[in-house]
A and B are shown apart, each in its own frame.
Chain A
Amino acid sequence: MSVDLSVSLGTLTLSNPLIAASGCFGYGVEYADAVDLSTLGGVAVKGLFLAEREGHPPPRIVETPAGMLNAIGLQGIGVHRFIREKLPELRDRRAVVFVNICGTTIDEYVELARILSDAEGVAAIELNISCPNIKEGGITFGCSLPGTHNVVAAVRKVTRLPIIPKLTPNVTDVASFARAAEDAGADALSLVNTFLAMAIDVDTRRPKLTNIVGGLSGPAIRPIAVRMVYECRQAVKIPIIGMGGISDPEDVLEFMIAGATAVQVGTANFVDPFIWYRLLDGLRAYMARHQLSRLADLTGTLDATSRQQAWISS
């Protein structure tokens, strides 16, 4: 049986739903010798500011059970060097490039979007309004409903590229932020970024990260992220890119059934840089087992009634 793994994020069609998550895949080119970038549905590159940034001093990561905390601090080469030094190779490797952008003001987001709209080889803009590890910008927009609305609306005015705000889970009601982004003209949503968290060395009584706090990712957060995708699916019509601890094909399927059109894989790529092939094989096997010809048909197919009936009948 021929199977169709493609998914659509508005006008953008991906060959499959697997996207490398921003901050977990460098600028993509680091992996190009090990992995055929064109086999991925997309590559979300490391968050870019207008200018270069050094990020936080190490230690920048610490492991926790089934997860890790990071506080990299958005070290990056800036948008101009990215376009000059990285984008041509990504284009040659036929990667579908999602450029994650971050600013401290709305004007910076607008400027970044303008610059990227003129660059060849950018498939979509992911608006980072959710990084928990920097003092200014980013999450200050993502934690305020007017902030989210205003930054998305301002970027909408200057670009025809698909705009995908990446939402933070560090709010009371993520669905209301999804609605604010949709109302302002977002084409899709990425959710979720990492959970603000902390780890302490009890012998020294010092934080394990230089930044004191960091973002928790990995399998530990997956059930919360799935719930948030499920809540947002009911709140908005635009496609959702789900993420949070995806490590196995079943995890991809779980996010899709909860309402995600595509997914991003981050932390698991650190553990296994060849994970993409294993995930694709697993998706194909599932489709064969369930006689599913189009993977996209799986999105939002959660049956929320059957569990309750089973309980009543027992």
Chain B
Amino acid sequence: MPVDVDAAVISNTRLSDDYSVLALAAPAIAEAAQPGQFVMLKVSRGMDPLLRRPFSIFQRLRDERGFLTGLTVLNKRIGKGTALLYDAEAGARLQCLGPLGRPFEAVDPPAEAWMIAGGVGLAPFATLAETLIARGTATTLFYGARRAQDLHCAEVFERLGVHVVYSTEDGGRGARGRVTVPLEQALARTDRSIDLRLYVCGPTPMMRAVAMVAAAHGRRCEVSLEQVMGCGLGGCYSCVVLARDGSGAPHHTRSCIDGPVFDATRVVWEALAH
């Protein structure tokens, strides 16, 4: 059951002119949160913007004794709401509703987990990595961005013991090109007998490309699709994606309660707005 917390901003760490990591005091949400779930944040007290916005739960925060104290969200300034969030100062309070949505299915050893992130699509993977590592699952992050300086927060994953494979479109760090370049090479190198689960989040064309690569190699792939959402609870039907049901028939499916995590083979990619 989701709870609505009048959450204090603990800190807002600007990583660049666009990215920030916002820490919120919301222990009740952090305790209930599962990897891949999200919160709905009201970014202003006023009516412009009116609605809340969905944000993946990036990290769960703990105090020195290990008790959960809150969560962070990875914010990229894109529009009015995310700009307000980028400017939020410590001490401000934001209504934070969560946790919401269908989580990732974290695999256990001997299966291996490969997370593929593009840009702000890194957001759902810190909690997933934490869960996977705690289960002893070998975990790799394929992390792609345009330039080296756009690769934020990789140390969060390296600290957890995740094997991080970088790629940049300008070749500034790791493999040159899209994230699918090192991914395809790694898939080709990996023995069929190894059970692999792919998890992907990022720009739609990138997720689509990864879904195709995963299908070509016969690997199961979960995608996190966060659409424009009105409510986050299934009330408004604004966040639908065209997804196939059990019989293969495509239906407009609410990404807030039936997602945001979908099996990649269910998604009708041609219908997704870029």
A→B interface (CB under 8 Å): 23-26, 30-31, 33-34, 46, 54-55, 57-61, 63, 65-68, 70, 72, 75, 218-219, 267, 269-274
Question: Which residues of chain A are near B4, meaning CB under 8 Å?
Answer: 272-274
Q: Pick the interface stretch among B17-25, B109-117, B123-131, B229-237.
A: B229-237
Contact B50 A58, beta carbon cutoff 8 Å: no
Contact B52 A271, beta carbon cutoff 8 Å: yes
Contact B235 A218, beta carbon cutoff 8 Å: no
Contact A30 B50, beta carbon cutoff 8 Å: no
If over half of A's interface residues share one DSSP class (helix, strand or loop), that class is named, otherwise mixed; here it is: loop
Pick the contact of A63 from B2, B51, B234 — CB < 8 Å? B51
Contact A58 B233, beta carbon cutoff 8 Å: no
Contact A58 B240, beta carbon cutoff 8 Å: yes
25 A-B pairs within 8 Å (CB atoms) are namely: A23-B237, A26-B234, A26-B235, A26-B237, A30-B233, A55-B237, A57-B252, A58-B227, A58-B238, A59-B228, A60-B237, A63-B48, A63-B50, A63-B51, A66-B47, A67-B50, A68-B50, A70-B238, A72-B238, A270-B51, A270-B230, A273-B2, A273-B97, A273-B231, A273-B235
**Interface residues on chain B, size class:** 20 to 34
Q: How many angstroms between the C-alpha atoms of A67 and B50 in the bound complex?
A: 6
Query: Nearest-CB distance from A288 to chain B (Å)?
Result: 25
Pair count A-B, CB < 8 A: 98
Question: Which residues of chain B are near A274, meaning CB under 8 Å?
Answer: 4
Contact A24 B235, beta carbon cutoff 8 Å: yes
| Sample of 11 more A-B contacts, CB < 8 Å, known A31-B233, A58-B227, A59-B273 | A26-B234, A31-B235, A58-B238, A58-B240, A60-B240, A63-B50, A65-B47, A75-B240, A270-B230, A272-B4, A273-B235
Q: How many angstroms between the C-alpha atoms of A38 and B48 in the bound complex?
A: 32
Q: A30-B235, A55-B240, A60-B237 are in contact. Are A68 and B273 (CB under 8 A)?
A: no
Contact B235 A54, beta carbon cutoff 8 Å: no
Question: Which residues of chain A are near B234, meaning CB under 8 Å?
Answer: 26, 30-31
Question: Which residues of chain B are near A26, meaning CB under 8 Å?
Answer: 233-237
Query: Nearest-CB distance from B244 to chain A (Å)?
Result: 13
Query: Nearest-CB distance from B45 to chain A (Å)?
Result: 11
Query: Nearest-CB distance from B259 to chain A (Å)?
Result: 13
Query: Nearest-CB distance from A171 to chain B (Å)?
Result: 25
Q: How many angstroms between the C-alpha atoms of A65 and B81 in the bound complex?
A: 12
Query: Nearest-CB distance from A42 to chain B (Å)?
Result: 15
Query: Nearest-CB distance from A139 to chain B (Å)?
Result: 19
